[in-house]
């Protein structure tokens, strides 16, 4: 089953190495909430204390 896009909606799939995606996240280059949540979740699996450390850098999280 394919995606159902709105008329003005465009999705571009871009493959990046995982570490580059994390760097883009840290630099605020990713704006899509689903992508941000997914990368945070993945980061927590790779480094269980990563989100605690992020709180030091981003106290508003």
* Mean pLDDT of each 10-residue bin along the chain, 61 residues long: 77 87 92 91 73 53 44
Residue 33 lies in a domain: yes
User: 12 in a domain, yes or no?
Assistant: no
Q: What pLDDT score does 24 carry? A: 93
pLDDT score, position 27? 93
Whole-angstrom Cα distance, residue 53 to residue 58?
Answer: 9
Report yes or no on 45 lying in a domain.
Answer: yes
Please check whether residue 28 is in contact with residue 36, taking contact to mean a CB–CB distance below 8 angstroms.
no
The C-alpha atoms of residue 59 and residue 16 are separated, in whole angstroms, by: 27
Q: Is residue 13 part of a domain?
A: no
> How many structural domains compose the chain?
1
pTM of structure = 0.59
Specify the pLDDT at position 1. 54
At residue 61, the pLDDT reads 44
Domain around 37: 18-57
Tokens of 18: 């995982």
């Amino acid at each position: 089953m394919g995606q159902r896009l709105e008329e003005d909606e465009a999705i571009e799939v871009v493959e990046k190495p995982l570490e580059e995606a994390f760097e883009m996240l840290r630099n605020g280059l990713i704006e899509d909430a689903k992508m941000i949540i997914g990368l945070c979740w993945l980061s927590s699996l790779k480094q269980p204390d990563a989100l605690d450390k992020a709180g030091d850098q981003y106290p508003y999280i």
